Amino acid sequence: MRSLVVLMVLCAWATIPANAQSASPSRTQGVSSWTAFERTWSNVSSYSATVAVFERDGAQVQNSVLDYTFRKPASATVHFIAGKNAGVTVVWNGGNTVVAHRGSGIFGLFTKTFTLHDPEVTTVRGSSIDQLSFPAMLAHLQATPGTVSQAPGIPILGVATETVTLVASSPIADTGLTSESIEFALPTGLPLRILGYEGATLVRQIDFSNIKLQP
C-alpha cells in the first residue's frame, strides 16, 4: 500500500497542521504577498487546484500530479491523476487518520485507514497530509526559525509574482531543507510555486495551476 499512498503528501511541509495560526506576525511584517494572501484567504471557504510535485531524497526521485481540494477549517481530498499512484484518492477530515482507496464505484468502497503519521502515509522527507494546504504552507513560513526575505519573482504562466525565501536556522528541523522559496501571485498572494533546496540542490518543486476559490 505504501506504493499507492506515499506520494499523497509530497507537497506537505514540516510539522505545521493545516489549521495552524500564524506563530509570529513579525516574521512576515512588511511582506506584501503575505498581506495579499490573508486578504484573499479571509473570503474563501474552500479551494481546488491541480498540483504537480517533484521530490528527491538522495537517489530516489518521485513525481506526481494530483487534484487537490481543501475545505475550511481542516479537511482535504487528494486524487492522483498521474504518477505511480494514479487512481488513488486520499481523504483527511482534520483528525489523526486518513482514508485511502483506489477507483470508483464498488471498487471505491474498499478503503484502508492509516494513522496520520504512519510511515505508510508519509513521504521520504517525512511529511504528512495534514500539512497539504495553502494555510499550512504559510504557517510553516511563519513558524520555522530562520531568515525571511522577499524579492521580485519571475512571471509564472504570465502572472507576476513575488518571491519569499526562508533560510532555515536548522535544516534538520526543516526536513533537511536549507532554504525554501514561495512564488506568490500578484495581487492575490496565492502560491504558484514552491521550491526546496539542500544546499544548491533542488530537492522539491511544487507547481499549482487551475486554482479555483469558493467563497
Q: Name, in order, each residue with C-beta under 8 angstroms of 147's C-beta and a sequence gap of 6 or more.
A: 166, 167, 169
Whether the Cβ atoms of residue 205 and residue 54 lie closer than 8 Å to each other? yes
Which residues on adjacent β-strands are paired with residue 171? Answer: none
Q: Which amino acid is at 65?
A: V
30 exposure class (CB count in 10 Å sphere: 0-12, 13-18, 19+): exposed
**Is the per-residue pLDDT at 94 higher than 90?**
no
Per-residue model confidence as pLDDT tens digits over 25-63: 345 555 677 788 888 888 999 999 998 988 888 888 888
Integer-rounded Cα Rg, in Å, for the chain is: 16
Confidence of residue 126 (pLDDT cuts 50, 70, 90): low
Confidence of residue 163 (pLDDT cuts 50, 70, 90): very high
Spatial separation of the C-alpha atoms in residues 198 and 204, rounded to whole Å: 9
Q: Name, in order, each residue with C-beta under 8 angstroms of 118's C-beta and a sequence gap of 6 or more.
A: none
- Residue 11: the pLDDT is 40
Spatial separation of the C-alpha atoms in residues 53 and 157, rounded to whole Å: 17
Q: What is the CATH number of the domain that holds 138?
A: 2.50.20.10
The number of distinct structural domains making up the chain is 1
- Residue 30: the pLDDT is 54
Confidence of residue 107 (pLDDT cuts 50, 70, 90): very low
Domain region containing 46: 2-214
